[in-house]
Amino acid sequence: MNWKLDDSMPIWIQLTEQITKRIVSGVYPLGEKLPSVRELAADASVNPNTMQRALSKLDDDGLTETNRTTGRTVTSSVDVVNDVRNKMAEQQVKRYLDGMAQLGFSNEQAKEMIELGENDL
Amino acid sequence: MFAKLFKYEMKATSRIFLIAWPALLILALLNGLLMNTNAFWYQPFSTAIVQVVTMIAFIMLFAAVVVMTMLVIIMRFYKGLLKEEGYLMFTLPVTTRQMITAKGLSATVIAVASVIVGSMALAALAMPSLSPHEIGEVLIELPRALARIDGWYIYLTEIIIMGIVGTMATIYQVYAAMSIGQLAQKHRVAWSFAAYVGISILLSIIVWVFGVTFPIAETDIYTYISTNLRRGELSTHFIIIAYTVVQIIKVFAFHIVCEYILSKKLNLE
Amino acid sequence: MSNQLISCRDLSKGFGPTLALSDVNIDVGTGKIVGLLGPNGAGKTTLIKLLNGLLQPTKGEILIDNQKPGVYTKSIVSYLPDRMYFDDWMKVDDMMKLFSNFYADFDSKKAQEMCKSLSIDPSSRIKTLSKGTKEKVQLILVMSRAAKLYLLDEPIAGVDPAARDFILNTILTNYSENATVLISTHLITDIERVLDEVIFLQNGRVILQESVDSIREKEGKSVDALFRDMFKSVPNAGGENNVR
């Protein structure tokens, strides 16, 4: 697993974000059991308490559920996941449009650039 | 815990001796059998060479056992506690007292065993050259000579104990010297030597002072003897026992020095 | 009575005229991975030796699990020194037997499995192993104990990246809520993500004791960056290019 972490910001926030991305993109499918805190921490080479804090946030956001016997599983609710996915997508769009505006592009022109860009992919 | 420590020490120190001791005895026996002092100068050259070589080998091995005994005892303490290995030993869940005692006791066992094996080797050297008749004579005369001394077995026991405790005292003196040497920041080995010499000098002074200030003690002893048992015999026992007690006091004193320094003033590099 | 695993009060240690540590007051709880950071000569090793009983305080008090350093604390503290402490003639499994004999919390099976996964033959003599392998053996022995406090003195200095990853991975997979790991190092970048909190030492004094998250939030920089800023004027301050 690749974890891109920046040491100048709290790690747990970055971990929450990256695991969220994996959940919404289906890398961790709905209802799937997540590895243990310790395993994830070792995989990311981070402190287990840090990972625990990141995972607790996921529980708070409703993306995961923790059960004493079964451990932590991704939610089976498609709605919750789609909701988060859409919100993240909105943020991406806003980021893109803001960035393009800084370069002097209008929103219309920014949209055109996407279509052009798609052809290159 | 102490038993574990002692077992560990014994296993680590005896390894090399369990090879050297039997080798020494075998070599001694071999020498004894080959030796034929009467006909030495009339032998063919080849057999003479064999005898000389085995004798040299024996002497070398004997010297080696002596040196090894001293080295092993010193090194187990020095390397084992005061150098890198100390990082392991002093973080084991045992008291400093147990550590020192385990080393001291096992060192004494090895030293005494070496003395016994050495003596046996010398005996094995001499025995084969004696004829059965000569051996028979010795076996008869020896008990008779001993029997002429009243209570010879008591003397023997006292002397053996004295020897063992004396050895222990010497070993502990070395340990104390090394512990004192450890207090120095630099040149610890040199300081250890100096400490050993210093302690020896100190002990000699104490003995001298004691002898000078208490000449009366002897008078008391003789007064006591003349009112009780035969003259001379009790004083011999007394001397042996007194000497033994002094050695025991030395062992305790040196142990206390070691324990204090190694538990309060340890500073491994 | 403190409920902290480690508790130091006005701790000082002097060697002759020099004071290696002065007025150290720290508390460390359980279930933490703590970094003891500072330039060379700051007093990190001295503090660790005071914690494992290899040194006695000149002044002040240390309590580990509410006991002064002694036989009990040695039985719950697992120490990895910054040097090799083997009797060279021993074999790897002799060492394992020794640990098993003297430490009730030693897990032989775990040690054997770790050796196997690193292709270390337990019957080999320690003398014959490479420096890197010897260090791994020492780490295996220390981490195979279920201790309450692990004291690791410079475990990753002078070690190749693969070995470093192995060491950090071992520390993380061994993590337990009932234990605390105290790692002393001057190589901060490699290790800061693994830490819960850090203690900065300089010239024998505690300059800072703070949780890592709090540092990142408050200062907006990595622990390494903060460290470099704080010790800017000190030659020999931490960093990968530093010679040990």
CA torsion sign for C101, C106, C107, C109 is negative
* B119/B140 same-domain check: no
Domain end position, chosen among B107, B129, B151: B129
Range of the domain at B269: 131-269
Report the alpha-carbon distance of residue B190 to residue B193 in Å, rounded. 5
Report the alpha-carbon distance of residue B268 to residue C153 in Å, rounded. 15
Report the alpha-carbon distance of residue B177 to residue B163 in Å, rounded. 21
* B149/B247 same-domain check: yes
Number of domains present in the structure of chain B: 2
CA torsion sign for C5, C9, C15, C19 is positive
* B67/B150 same-domain check: no
Averaged pLDDT, B204-229: 61
Nearest CA in chain A to C190: A45
Contacts (Cβ under 8 Å, ≥6 apart) of B28: B58, B120, B121, B122, B124, B125
Token pair for C40: 């060379």
Q: How far is C94 from chain A (nearest CA, A)?
A: 30
Q: What is the model's pLDDT at position B153?
A: 77
pLDDT band at B135 (very low <50, low <70, confident <90, very high): confident
| Per-residue pLDDT at A86 exceeds 80 | yes
Q: C149 phi and psi, to 5 degrees?
A: -140, 125
Contacts of B88 in chain C (CB under 8 A): 85-86
Token pair for B157: 């026991």
Strands (E), chain C: 6-15, 18-28, 33-37, 59-64, 77-80, 149-153, 180-185, 197-202, 205-211
Range 14-53 of C in CB contact (< 8 A) with B: 15-16, 52-53
Averaged pLDDT, B200-208: 88
How many CB pairs (< 8 A) connect B and C? 54
Contacts of C16 in chain B (CB under 8 A): 185
| Per-residue pLDDT at B229 exceeds 50 | no
CB contact B86 to C (< 8 Å):
yes
Domain end position, chosen among B129, B160, B193: B129
| Per-residue pLDDT at A99 exceeds 70 | yes
How many CB atoms are located within 10 Å of the residue B158 CB? 18
Report the alpha-carbon distance of residue B259 to residue B102 in Å, rounded. 13
Report the alpha-carbon distance of residue C142 to residue C184 in Å, rounded. 15
Alpha carbon distances (Å) from C198 to A81, C177, C235: 37, 18, 21
Residue type (1 letter), B249: I
| Per-residue pLDDT at A3 exceeds 60 | yes
Alpha carbon distances (Å) from B179 to B10, C16, C40: 21, 18, 29
User: Which chains border C (3 or more CB–CB pairs < 8 Å)?
Assistant: A, B
Place of tokens 């996915």: A85
| DSSP state at residue B184 | S
Report the alpha-carbon distance of residue B155 to residue B147 in Å, rounded. 12
> Is residue C58 a contact partner of residue C22, using CB atoms and an 8 Å limit?
no
Dump the DSSP string for C25-57: EEEE-SS-EEEEE-STTSSHHHHHHHHTTSS--
Q: What is the model's pLDDT at position C104?
A: 95
HSE value, Cβ hemisphere, 13 Å, CA-based, for B164:
13
Report the alpha-carbon distance of residue C204 to residue C15 in Å, rounded. 12
Place of tokens 């061994």: C174
Report the alpha-carbon distance of residue C30 to residue C33 in Å, rounded. 9
Q: Which residues pair with C34 in a beta bridge?
A: C182, C197
CB contact C238 to A (< 8 Å):
no
Report the alpha-carbon distance of residue B179 to residue B103 in Å, rounded. 13
Report the alpha-carbon distance of residue C53 to residue C57 in Å, rounded. 9
Q: How far is B29 from chain C (nearest CA, A)?
A: 32
Contacts (Cβ under 8 Å, ≥6 apart) of C28: C4, C5, C6, C7, C34, C180, C182, C197
> Is residue A63 a contact partner of residue A81, using CB atoms and an 8 Å limit?
yes
| DSSP state at residue C125 | B
Q: Is domain A11-76 classified as CATH 3.30.2010.30?
A: no
SS3 call for C176: coil
Whether residue C196 and residue A47 make contact (CB cut-off 8 A), yes or no, is yes
* C172 vs A5, A10, A42: nearest CB: A42
* B118/B146 same-domain check: no
> Is residue C183 a contact partner of residue C191, using CB atoms and an 8 Å limit?
yes
* B107/B144 same-domain check: no
Q: What's the ipTM?
A: 0.88
Domain end position, chosen among B96, B129, B162: B129
Residues in chain B: 269
pLDDT band at B36 (very low <50, low <70, confident <90, very high): low
Report the alpha-carbon distance of residue A120 to residue A117 in Å, rounded. 5
Residue type (1 letter), B92: L
Token pair for B12: 């680590």
pLDDT band at B42 (very low <50, low <70, confident <90, very high): low
| Per-residue pLDDT at B225 exceeds 50 | no
Smallest Cα–Cα separation from C152: which of C213, C47, C79? Answer: C79
* B8/B55 same-domain check: yes
Residue type (1 letter), B79: K
Q: What is the model's pLDDT at position B15?
A: 86
Residues of chain C with pLDDT under 70: 1-2, 233-244
Q: How far is A20 from chain C (nearest CA, A)?
A: 20
* B175/B232 same-domain check: yes
Averaged pLDDT, B12-38: 82
Between the two ends of chain A, the Cα-to-Cα distance in Å is 24
Average pLDDT value over all residues in chain A: 90
Summarize pLDDT for B43-79 with one digit per residue, the tens: 677 777 877 888 888 888 889 988 999 999 999 999 8
Mark whether B and C touch (3+ CB pairs within 8 Å).
yes
Q: What is the model's pLDDT at position C26?
A: 94
* B101/B181 same-domain check: no
Q: How far is C6 from chain B (nearest CA, A)?
A: 17
* B30/B112 same-domain check: yes
Whether residue C87 and residue B85 make contact (CB cut-off 8 A), yes or no, is yes
Contacts of B92 in chain C (CB under 8 A): 74, 102
* B104/B44 same-domain check: yes
* B267/B139 same-domain check: yes
Summarize pLDDT for C11-53 with one digit per residue, the tens: 999 988 889 999 999 999 999 999 999 988 899 999 999 999 9
SS3 call for C198: strand
Dump the DSSP string for B84-114: THHHHHTTSSS-HHHHHHHHHHHHHHHHHHH
Average pLDDT value over all residues in chain B: 83
How many CB pairs (< 8 A) connect A and C? 62
pLDDT band at B221 (very low <50, low <70, confident <90, very high): very low
How many CB atoms are located within 10 Å of the residue B144 CB? 8
Smallest Cα–Cα separation from B182: which of B47, B82, B259? Answer: B82
* B73/B138 same-domain check: no
Q: How far is C100 from chain B (nearest CA, A)?
A: 11
Alpha carbon B70 to its chain centroid, in Å, reads 9
